């Protein structure tokens, strides 16, 4: 038998990561061929066996069954020798895992998303010593089961890459995400040491799944906004529906950075999302006004739950020339104005244009940063993900100049 493959070789890392992330059999087989110099050698089969199949653990059995079937067929087609272990495991799945369609309907699967840092990244704060960062995630196979938030979406992968590529934008900051879904961006924010990570979603089953994933990754979950805890492993999870989030609920959050991945897709909810962003980005507290006597007035755009305008808390500074900094009550040092990063794919140009026009009406400054702030490509092993399909917006409030 030839020498074992070295798991630290980039091609082996890509092969392993593709299997763990449940990429298609075709994708995994193409990585396997690269490892074997063009064919799926016994050495490559042994590597797959040792690292994935010998202890399948919580792997999704129908996925492995289908993968084994295609892998064996490819090796036979190439007139190669199939390892006995692979035949035996496939035979086992043939008898034990019969009705795939039943499993598919509401299956939650356990995937592992691996971020592979390229050479030359070792100085990056987010890059682990091994240059591989792996997050196990429970998610849905059916994109619409449990709402859209139980699946992993392309813009969520992009935003996670962005956080890991630009840790300085998030570390030591209070980061708040809308429509957090499975919680992958939150795991990356905790990894880059955001001072506070607050995730939210408006779907209860998504929220339950998100909490499960945070705990799976050894983070502690806190549901109460009022509780303040300096535990670095603590992530807050909020039920937050854009259409019913109150001004005071949003003002309590006080984020430095707001994030959202794949949240611009349904025109019905866009006005509510833009209202939420406008309130969060207009974070100006009373101490700021005391410091800047010229900033006075009342925001006409911000409404309370009952539909009445907020005369006590929301402060309109649209006509004044104030700096993009404000004073935090907890200390008297000036802080930067909040900023939002939203990643999206354009599925419907009209919905996207609607979002942009709502943003303009809310006096938000929306800049496309895709070309200037491209994240590292940390998921190159995924055929199902194409970074080039995603755009990144930076949003700030024009009310703070």
Ligand X SMILES: C[S@@+](CC[C@H](N)C(=O)[O-])C[C@H]1O[C@@H](n2cnc3c(N)ncnc32)[C@H](O)[C@@H]1O
- The site map against ligand X for 169-208 (x = CB under 6 A) is ----------xxxx------------------xxx--x--
Q: Cβ distance 85 to 44 under 8 Å?
A: no
Looking up tokens 């996670």, which residue turns up? 160
Q: Is the dihedral of CA 295, 298, 302, 306 positive or negative?
A: positive
Cβ neighbours of residue 226 under 8 Å, at least 6 residues apart? 252
Measure the CA–CA gap between 216 and 112, rounded to whole angstroms: 11
The reply to whether 375 sits near ligand X by the rule CB under 6 A is no
Q: Nearer Cβ to ligand X, position 91 or 241?
A: 241
- Site residues for ligand X, 263-302, by CB under 6 A, read 263, 269, 272
Which position among 115, 262, 274, 399 is part of the footprint of ligand X (CB under 6 A)? 262
| In the complex, minimum distance from the CB of residue 35 to ligand X, in angstroms, rounded to a whole number | 29
Nearer to ligand X, 335 or 391 (CB): 391
The three-class DSSP label of residue 17 is helix
The three-state DSSP-derived secondary structure of 276-289 is HHHHHHCCCCHHHH
How near is the Cβ of 159 to ligand X at its closest, in Å?
Answer: 7
User: Is 191:218 a contact under the CB 8 Å cutoff?
Assistant: no
Nearest approach in angstroms of CB 17 to ligand X is 18
Given a contact cutoff of 8 angstroms between Cβ atoms, the answer to whether 230 and 220 are in contact is: no
Distance, in Å, from the CA atom of 171 to the CA atom of 196, rounded to the nearest integer, reads: 9
Taking a C-beta distance cutoff of 8 angstroms, is the pair 373, 392 a contact? yes
Contact map string, positions 134 to 153, toward ligand X, x by CB under 6 A: -------------xxx--xx
| Closer residue to ligand X in complex, CB, 201/316 | 201
In the shown chain, the binding pattern of residues 234 to 253 toward ligand X, with x for contact by CB under 6 A and - for none, equals -------xxx----------
Strand, coil or helix: 130: coil
Q: In whole angstroms, how close is the CB of 346 to ligand X at the nearest point?
A: 14
Query: Please, what is the minimum distance in Å from the beta carbon of residue 393 to ligand X?
Result: 14
The C-alpha atoms of residue 201 and residue 76 are separated, in whole angstroms, by 47
Pick from 12, 19, 214, 261 the residue near ligand X by CB under 6 A. 261
What is the CB neighbour count within 10 angstroms for residue 94? 12
Minimum separation from the CB atom of position 264 to ligand X (A): 10
Min CB(30)–ligand X separation in Å? 25
Positions touching ligand X (CB under 6 A) are 147-149, 152-153, 155-156, 179-182, 201-203, 206, 241-243, 261-263, 269, 272
């Amino acid at each position: 038998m030839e020498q074992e493959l070295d798991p630290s070789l980039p091609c082996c890392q890509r092969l392993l990561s593709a299997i763990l992330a449940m990429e298609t059999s075709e994708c995994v087989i193409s990585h396997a061929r690269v490892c074997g110099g063009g064919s799926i050698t016994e050495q490559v089969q042994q590597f797959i066996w040792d690292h994935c199949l010998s202890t399948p653990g919580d792997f999704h059995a129908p996925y492995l069954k289908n993968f084994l079937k295609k892998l064996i067929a490819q090796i036979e087609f190439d007139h190669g020798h199939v390892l006995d272990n692979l035949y035996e495991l496939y035979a086992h799945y043939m008898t034990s895992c019969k009705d795939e369609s039943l499993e598919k309907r509401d299956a939650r699967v356990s995937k592992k998303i691996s971020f592979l840092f390229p050479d030359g990244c070792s100085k990056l704060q987010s890059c682990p010593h091994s240059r591989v960062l792996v997050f196990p995630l429970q998610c849905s196979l059916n994109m619409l089961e449990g709402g859209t938030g139980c699946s992993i979406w392309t813009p969520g992968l992009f935003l996670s890459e962005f956080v890991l590529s630009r840790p300085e934008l998030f570390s030591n900051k209070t980061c708040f995400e809308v429509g957090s879904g499975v919680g992958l961006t939150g795991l990356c924010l905790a990894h880059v040491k955001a001072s506070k990570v607050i995730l939210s979603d408006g779907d209860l089953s998504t929220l339950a799944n998100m909490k499960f994933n945070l705990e799976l990754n050894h983070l502690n979950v806190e549901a109460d906004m009022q509780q303040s805890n300096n535990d670095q492993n603590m992530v807050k999870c909020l039920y937050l529906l854009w259409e019913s989030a109150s001004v005071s609920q949003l003002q309590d959050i006080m984020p430095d950075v707001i994030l959202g991945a794949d949240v611009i897709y349904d025109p019905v909810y866009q006005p509510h999302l833009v209202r939420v962003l406008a309130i969060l980005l207009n974070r100006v507290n009373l101490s700021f006004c005391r410091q800047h006597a010229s900033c006075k007035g009342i925001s006409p755009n911000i409404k309370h739950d009952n539909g009445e305008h907020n005369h006590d808390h929301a402060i309109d500074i649209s006509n004044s020339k104030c700096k993009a900094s404000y004073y935090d009550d907890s200390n008297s040092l000036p802080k930067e104005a909040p900023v939002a990063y939203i990643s999206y794919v354009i599925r419907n140009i009209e919905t996207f244009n609607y979002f942009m026009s709502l943003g303009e009406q809310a006096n938000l400054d929306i800049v496309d940063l895709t070309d200037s702030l491209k994240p590292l490509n940390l998921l190159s092993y995924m055929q199902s993900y194409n970074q080039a399909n995603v755009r990144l917006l930076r949003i700030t409030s024009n009310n703070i100049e």
